[in-house]
Amino acid sequence: MANVICVLGMHRSGTSVLTRVLNLLGMDLGPASQLMPPTKFNPRGFWEHQGIVRINDEILARLGGTWRDVPQFPDGWESSPAMQDLREEAEALVKRDFGNALTWGWKDPRTCITAPFWQNIIGAMRYLVCLRNPLEVVRSLEHTMPFAHGAWLWLAYTRGVLNHTRGLPRMLVFYEDFMASVEQELPRLATFLGSPDSARRPEVRAAVQDFVEEGLRHQRSSPENAAIDERLGDETRRLFTILRLRASLGQLRFRHGLLREAEA
């Protein structure tokens, strides 16, 4: 049975960096011809399977939305007859591009909100959840949308991630923590991937260091600034504060009810 990793996180939250690192550690991302090419906004590459992105975009369109205008998801939408052709397309894509892979995965931020569709197709998966200070995310998106909408979108995607992976195998990584301590985070990622030895290979470590540059992080803001910036809205600030608290306590899972209310 294949080992499948789904990388989840709001747009501009470091999912591209983390996905490429997992790829260097041994995760198959599918044929190179299917990967989205770099752009000026992401010169190091998106590392997204274009077929999966297309299916996600079509799901959102059929529900009356887009990645930036999250639609309503009626109960049972993922198994409705209206999605049958997309389910068949997704099954064919997985078989064609990943059928022989022992460890494979993908990332597309849209999967934060379309995850039930892919869970229905693939079944058992593990989830790497990428989180980032919402102030940094919103500022990174300001060239495409108003500040308030970016803050709302961070909340919608982050809630989607938490809800759709509740009770499932997952690991949470803050982008800013990873960028500040790649050496310490690499073994943890490799262990989560199921190949702990890969993090000790000199050629892998060198490739990761070459790819991960501190310069990739163009927006910077402290957790304290996000916690007090009223422009983000109370719900966004509150959820981020709880998530940062969980990270500061070094919890590997949500324990003691700390996130019970946040995930509701």
Q: How confident is the model at residue 39 (pLDDT cuts 50, 70, 90)?
A: confident
- pLDDT(75) > 80: yes
Q: How confident is the model at residue 71 (pLDDT cuts 50, 70, 90)?
A: very high
Coil, strand or helix at 104: strand
Q: How confident is the model at residue 253 (pLDDT cuts 50, 70, 90)?
A: very low
Residue-wise pLDDT for 123-180, tens only, equals 999 999 999 999 999 999 998 999 999 999 999 999 999 999 999 999 999 998 899 8
Express the helix, strand and coil content of the chain in percent, nearest 5 each.
Answer: 55, 10, 35
- pLDDT(14) > 50: yes
Q: What is the pLDDT of residue 44?
A: 79
Q: What is the pLDDT of residue 245?
A: 85
* Entry pTM: 0.89
Q: What is the pLDDT of residue 123?
A: 95
Q: What is the pLDDT of residue 240?
A: 93
Q: Which helix (H) or strand (E) holds 130?
A: strand 126-131
Q: What is the pLDDT of residue 226?
A: 81
Q: Regarding predicted confidence, which is higher, 220 or 238?
A: 238
Average pLDDT of the segment spanning 59-83: 97
How many CA atoms, within 13 angstroms, populate the side-chain half-sphere of residue 131?
27
CA distance 241 to 262: 10
Residue-wise pLDDT for 183-204, tens only, equals 889 999 999 999 999 999 999 9
Q: What is the pLDDT of residue 262?
A: 43
Topology of domain 3-263 in CATH is Rossmann fold (3.40.50)
Two tokens at 262?
A: 């946040």
